[in-house]
Amino acid sequence: MAEITKVRPIAEKRYSCGNDGRDSHWIVDYYCPKCKKPINKGDIACDKCGTFFDWSKTAHIRMNPEIVWE
Segments making up each domain of the chain, as ranges: 6-69
Predicted confidence band of residue 67 (pLDDT cuts 50, 70, 90):
confident
22-49 pLDDT, tens digit per residue, is: 788 888 999 999 999 999 998 999 999 9
Q: What percent of the chain has pLDDT over 90?
A: 50
d(CA 27, CA 34): 22
Question: Whole-model pTM above 0.75?
Answer: yes
Distance CA 13, CA 11 (A): 7
The answer on pLDDT for 21 being more than 80 is: no
